[in-house]
């Protein structure tokens, strides 16, 4: 069985960076049963005819950014202004009809980029065009064509019902009442909000509030939707419904609707996105399709072997065509895992032979293609969790 | 979306109505709000009426208090429901949706104002009812229509001033509470809500006459109390023109201030950081 995400870098936490794991990564069983392989994930995508390559020109792209930087003043130190760089020079073009992911750890510049693209923030330098209009000089033209959903947000008024909330937000975009009604009814059904339609927002559970928040972003039938960590903190079922809705929504007007998604959930980016940009410290380090990104790492197969704690592994690293990528600390049940990159079948055989010669007890052995996590580590130089932790420490300091 | 040249107008009207809806209809779902809007504010007004009665003051003074109580409700509405509203919207995460919607921010503020006027009128009506039916305050309705015009203009000017405050409070961020409190009590005093403003002296009265609440209140008192108001600030006609002028002045100022605050916020990043 090939597993989408596996291994842990800290203690016995079994899953890292999965969209459906909670913040402590505790939903191993659910994740493993839900996502068997990447191919399985993509099997859900409605069959659509192959699309022509998107227009990535300045005039034709849904989003076109050149030389974008953004700095903030962060107070003064000894009378000198402290400048923090959130975006350190981004060039990117997103075609119409693309589902484009921006993947990066906390503090990488994802949200700042989104705020600039949605006209909420001026860039310090650079040109930003959204839906064919300059986001700085023609913000109104941009706004008419975009929607924004920020995950974890519960914007709106608790005193309104779900249905009224959707209507209210549509009115800020001038949507006629009839169209507003039709859209809200469609969204109530598709996001499983129907049973809560006439309930006050302040009486909804967090999951329903976030679904409502998500639905709100689609009430104006935007050409381009910006989703900033849309499944942040969501339960498995809500996150799944939101992803399924996104795929259907894109397929309904293939080539016309564009989604720009920021996330630091690898599986989510892998599952949904046509292309992914990996961003860290305000710079885009790589942009490609998920498959294309994997080829950046290598053509290695990834092998994970779970062994008794204390089993010698020196012999494994000496085998030609095998490299040890990571060794996890011993778990509570007295085992540890070794992650190997194996370049060819012969090397795989040598690994097995070596383990048998040593008389090792193999508790588990699995293989898989390089994951986005592997890609991220290779490109950024550290795992996304480590990067998040570093950002948190930096923020705390 | 409609695609005519009237589209921006239609969008703004829809936006204003949607924002007003929250206050007019949704807010009435909380009975405790209605109670706190109607019953509690008139208690202070009652205290002043009883003081004047105990001192043996003319009945016209009671009418002063009732009119002051009515208008005080609007000032509180302007200060707390208009001025601070964008700040609270920012804290609740709504501001960025207003800012990235294609409608005008003035449309959102107008919606808040309309909703605010309707809700605050509940409070004002309860004060008026108390004055008319419990204290039996004598009002002269000979110039009733003119008084109504003055009332409408005063509200317009006040809420336009509230729109200006919205930008100011948004800029002040966390200091908003202190700012609102700082403006609350001095305005009670300066606008003569419970006593004739001329008691503060002619120069003070002239200075305060630039505030729409004081002017509007003075005009209404002249119109509704007949000859009981011996020392008005200015003639009613002059006060009417001042109110018209301040309405347009504050509206224009609000537009400029909103644009400036928004541009500043986008430049500094303060509009997207909630706790600033």
Say which residue the tokens 């509206």 belong to.
Answer: B251
Domain enclosing residue B99, as ranges: 7-268
**DSSP structure string for B32-69:** HHHHHHHTTHHHHHHHHHHHHHHHT--HHHHHHHHHHH
Whether A148 sits inside 8 A of B108 (CB atoms) is: no
pLDDT band at A51 (very low <50, low <70, confident <90, very high): low
Q: Which of residues 209-248 of A touch B (CB under 8 A)?
A: 216, 220
Q: Is B82 helix (H, G, I), strand (E, B) or coil?
A: helix
pLDDT digits (tens, 9 = 90+) for B211-265: 788 889 888 888 888 766 667 778 899 999 999 999 999 999 999 999 999 999 8
What number of residues does chain A have?
Answer: 397
Res. B197: pLDDT tops 90: no
C-beta of residue B189 within 8 angstroms of C-beta of residue B65: no
pLDDT digits (tens, 9 = 90+) for B31-87: 777 777 777 768 878 888 899 899 998 888 888 888 888 888 888 888 777 888 888
Phi, psi dihedral angles at B198 (to 5 degrees): -65, -20
Longest dimension (CA), chain B: 66
CA dist list (Å): B262 to A156, B101, B105, B255: 21, 13, 10, 11
In a mutational test of the B interface, the residue from A114, A155, A172, A214 whose CB has the highest number of chain B CBs within 10 Å is: A172
Which range among A128-132, A160-164, A285-289, A298-302 shows the weakest confidence by mean pLDDT? Answer: A298-302
Res. A198: pLDDT tops 90: yes
Contacts by residues B22-25 (CB-CB < 8 Å, ≥ 24 positions apart): B22/A157, B22/A159, B22/A160, B22/A168, B22/B115, B23/B81, B23/B112, B23/B114, B23/B115, B23/B116, B23/B118, B23/B119, B24/B114, B24/B115, B24/B118, B24/B119
Q: What is the mean pLDDT of residues A223-252?
A: 88
CATH number assigned to the domain covering A295-388 = 3.30.70.260
Give contacts of B11 with chain A, Cβ < 8 Å: 172-174
Q: Which CATH number fits domain A63-287: 1.10.2020.10, 3.40.50.410, 3.30.450.30, 3.40.50.300?
A: 3.40.50.300
Q: What is the ipTM metric for this complex?
A: 0.84
* DSSP 8-state assignment for residue B80: I
Give the gap in angstroms from C-alpha B195 to the nearest C-alpha of chain A. Answer: 39
Retrieve residue B89's tokens.
Answer: 């919207």
Burial class (CB in 10 A: 0-12, 13-18, 19+), A19: buried
pLDDT digits (tens, 9 = 90+) for B117-171: 888 887 788 888 888 888 888 888 888 899 999 999 999 999 999 999 888 888 8
Nearest CB neighbour to A172, from listed B7, B92, B103: B103
Nearest CB neighbour to A172, from listed B29, B98, B266: B98
- CA-nearest residue to B108 within chain A is A172
Which range among A116-120, A271-275, A297-301, B25-29 shows the weakest confidence by mean pLDDT? Answer: A297-301
Give the gap in angstroms from C-alpha A166 to the nearest C-alpha of chain B. Answer: 11
Residue B105 resides in a domain:
yes
C-beta of residue A255 within 8 angstroms of C-beta of residue A62: no
CB pairs under 8 A between A and B: 94
A157 contacts chain B (CB < 8 A): yes
Res. A349: pLDDT tops 90: no
Res. A34: pLDDT tops 60: no
Domains in chain A: boundaries: 63-287, 295-388
Q: How far apart are CA A266 and CA B65, in angstroms?
A: 66
pLDDT band at A43 (very low <50, low <70, confident <90, very high): very low
Residue B139 resides in a domain:
yes
The pLDDT value given to residue B227: 66
Total tally of structural domains belonging to chain B: 1
- Reported as half-sphere exposure (CB side, CA atoms, 13 A), residue A133 has a value of 17
SS3 for A128-176 is: EEECCEECCCCHHHHHCCEEEEECCCCCCCCCCEHHHHHHHHHHCCCCC
In a mutational test of the A interface, the residue from B86, B97, B99 whose CB has the highest number of chain A CBs within 10 Å is: B97
pLDDT digits (tens, 9 = 90+) for A100-115: 999 988 889 999 999 9
Q: What is the mean pLDDT of residues A295-319?
A: 80
Q: What is the mean pLDDT of residues B197-216?
A: 76
Residue B75 resides in a domain:
yes
Whether A172 sits inside 8 A of B29 (CB atoms) is: no
Q: In 3D, which of B67, B30, B139 has the Cα closest to residue A158?
A: B30
The pLDDT value given to residue A50: 59
pLDDT digits (tens, 9 = 90+) for A53-76: 788 889 999 999 999 999 998 777
Q: Which run of H or E residues covers position A224? A: strand A224-228
Retrieve residue A10's tokens.
Answer: 């800290």
pTM reported for the whole predicted model: 0.78
């Amino acid at each position: 069985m090939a597993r989408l995400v596996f291994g842990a870098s800290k203690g016995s936490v079994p899953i890292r960076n999965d969209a459906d794991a909670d913040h402590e990564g505790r939903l191993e069983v659910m994740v493993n049963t839900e996502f068997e392989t990447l191919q399985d994930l993509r099997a859900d995508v409605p069959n659509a005819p192959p699309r022509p390559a998107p227009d990535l020109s300045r005039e034709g792209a849904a989003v076109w950014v050149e030389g974008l930087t953004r700095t903030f003043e962060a107070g003064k130190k000894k009378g000198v202004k402290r400048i923090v760089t959130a975006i350190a020079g981004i060039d990117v073009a997103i075609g119409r009809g693309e589902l484009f992911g921006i993947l990066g750890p906390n503090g990488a510049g994802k949200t700042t980029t989104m705020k600039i693209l949605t006209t909420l923030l001026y860039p310090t330098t650079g040109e930003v065009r959204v839906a064919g209009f300059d986001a700085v000089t023609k913000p109104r033209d941009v706004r008419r064509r975009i929607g924004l959903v920020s995950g974890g947000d519960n914007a709106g008024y608790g005193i309104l019902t779900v249905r009224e909330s959707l209507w209210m937000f549509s009115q800020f975009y001038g949507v006629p009442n009839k169209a507003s009604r039709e859209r809200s009814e469609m969204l109530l059904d598709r996001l499983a909000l129907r049973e809560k339609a006439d309930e006050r927002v302040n009486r909804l559970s967090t999951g329903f509030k976030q679904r409502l928040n998500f639905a709100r972003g689609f009430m104006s039938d935007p050409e381009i939707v910006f989703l900033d960590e849309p499944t942040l903190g969501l339960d498995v079922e809500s996150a799944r419904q939101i992803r399924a809705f996104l795929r259907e929504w894109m397929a309904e007007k293939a080539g016309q609707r564009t989604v720009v998604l920021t996330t630091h959930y690898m599986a989510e980016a892998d599952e949904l996105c046509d292309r992914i940009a990996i961003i860290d410290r305000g710079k885009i380090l790589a942009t490609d399709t998920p498959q294309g990104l994997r080829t950046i790492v290598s053509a290695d197969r990834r092998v994970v072997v779970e062994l008794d704690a204390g089993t010698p592994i020196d012999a494994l690293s000496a085998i030609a065509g095998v490299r040890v990528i990571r060794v996890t600390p011993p778990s509570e049940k007295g085992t540890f895992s070794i992650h190997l990159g194996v370049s060819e079948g012969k090397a795989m055989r040598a690994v097995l032979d070596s383990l048998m010669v040593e008389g090792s007890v193999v508790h588990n052995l699995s293989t898989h293609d390089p994951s986005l996590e592997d890609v991220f580590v290779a490109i950024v130089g550290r795992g996304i969790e480590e990067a998040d932790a570093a950002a948190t420490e930096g923020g705390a300091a | 979306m409609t695609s005519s040249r009237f589209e921006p107008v239609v969008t703004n009207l829809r936006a204003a109505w949607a924002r007003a809806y929250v206050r007019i209809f949704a807010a009435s779902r909380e009975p405790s709000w209605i109670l706190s809007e109607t019953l509690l504010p008139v208690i202070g007004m009652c205290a002043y009426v009883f003081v004047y009665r105990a001192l043996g003051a003319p009945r016209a003074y009671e009418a002063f208090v009732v009119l002051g109580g009515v208008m005080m409700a609007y000032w509180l509405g302007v200060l707390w429901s208009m001025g601070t509203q964008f700040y609270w919207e920012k804290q609740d995460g709504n501001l960025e949706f207003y800012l990235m919607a294609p409608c005008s921010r003035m449309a959102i503020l107008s919606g808040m104002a309309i909703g605010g006027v309707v809700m605050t009128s509940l409070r004002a009506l309860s004060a008026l009812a108390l004055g008319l039916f419990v204290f039996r305050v004598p009002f002269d309705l000979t110039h009733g229509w003119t008084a109504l015009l003055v009332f409408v203009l005063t509200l317009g000017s006040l809420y336009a001033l509230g729109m200006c405050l919205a930008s100011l409070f948004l800029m002040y961020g966390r200091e908003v509470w202190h700012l609102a409190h700082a403006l609350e009590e001095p305005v009670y005093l300066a606008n003569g809500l419970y006593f004739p403003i001329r008691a503060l002296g002619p120069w003070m009265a002239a200075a305060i006459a630039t505030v729409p609440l004081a002017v509007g209140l003075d005009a209404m008192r002249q119109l509704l109390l007949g000859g009981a108001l011996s020392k008005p600030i200015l003639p009613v006609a002059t006060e009417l023109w001042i109110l018209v002028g301040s309405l347009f002045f504050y509206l224009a100022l609000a537009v400029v201030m909103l644009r400036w605050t928004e541009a500043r916020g986008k430049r500094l990043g303060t509009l997207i950081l909630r706790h600033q």
